Amino acid sequence: MAEQELHELQPGQIVPDFTLPSSTGGNISLSDYRGQAVVLYFYPKDQTPACTQEACDFRDRAAYYARHGAVLLGISGDPLKAHSRFAAKHELPFPLLSDEDHEVCRLFGVWQLKKMYGREYEGIVRSTFLIDREGRLVREWRKVKVKNHAEEVLEAAKQLAEAGH
């Protein structure tokens, strides 16, 4: 995997490929979806309130994303067993990828120092990336607030589809 981090990439550049284990079984690579737009969303932890809301917001719009040629993939550092329970409990129709060593999170620049209640720790900063059919970065959302986010990303995916990318 390339050592370059995504935040060094500019829109229009190819996103480096990666492969991670999936809640749906086996491994998934970004390149598996060449020919389709990909919405790649990073979230801190399964079964937490904001992460559950975000996953359910994407779930509730999954058919609309598919209609516009976009695939949804969620990534966190949780193990596959936690992903499988989370996906089953909330009936998520898209794969959750496990990045336990945080390699892909670092690639995308979302594994960062965070602060909560005066304590510092490393963790995932909620972020979403829209990648076109050729594997190019189209758009990124960093430090995401969950409210209305899935709808905003869907609008961007619609625009991408309408533009023929």
Q: What is the mean pLDDT of residues 68-75?
A: 97
User: What residue spans define the domains of the chain?
Assistant: 6-157
What percent of the chain stands above pLDDT 90? 84
Residue 160: the pLDDT is 95
Active-site pick, 51, 96, 104, 124: 51
**Where is 146: in which H helix or E strand?**
none
Strand order of the β-sheet with 137-142 is 96-98, 70-76, 37-42, 127-131, 137-142
How much is the pTM?
Answer: 0.92
Q: Which of 92, 65, 33, 74 minimizes the C-alpha distance to 156?
A: 65
Please tell me the distance from the alpha carbon of residue 77 to that of residue 82, in angstroms, as a whole number: 10
- The phi, psi pair for 88, rounded to 5°, reads -70, -45
**pLDDT cut 70: percent of the chain above it:** 93
pLDDT at residue 9, as a whole number: 61
Q: Give me the pLDDT at residue 7, please.
A: 54
User: What's 91's DSSP letter?
Assistant: T
Q: Which tens digit of pLDDT belongs to each residue from 16-28? A: 999 999 999 999 9
Tens-digit pLDDT profile for residues 112-137 = 988 888 889 899 999 999 999 999 99
Token pair of 117, please?
């209640």
What's the whole-number mean pLDDT along residues 75-100? Answer: 97
* Structure tokens, 2: 């390339």
Domain 6-157 = CATH 3.40.30.10: yes
What residue type is assigned to position 76 of the chain?
S
pLDDT of residue 2: 40
Can you tell me the distance from the alpha carbon of 74 to that of 57, in angstroms, rounded to the nearest whole number? 12
Please check the confidence at residue 60 and state whether its pLDDT lies above 50. yes
DSSP 86: H
Which of residues 10 and 78 earns the better pLDDT score?
Answer: 78
**Calpha distance 106→149 (Å, rounded):** 22
What value does the mean pLDDT take over residues 36-52? 97
Sign, CA dihedral 153-30-27-75, equals: negative
Query: What was the pLDDT predicted at 4?
Result: 42
51 catalytically annotated: yes
CA–CA separation, 135 and 11 (whole Å): 11
Mean pLDDT taken over the chain: 92
Helix (H) or strand (E) segment spanning residue 67: helix 62-67
Asked whether the beta carbons of 74 and 95 are under 8 A apart, the reply is: yes
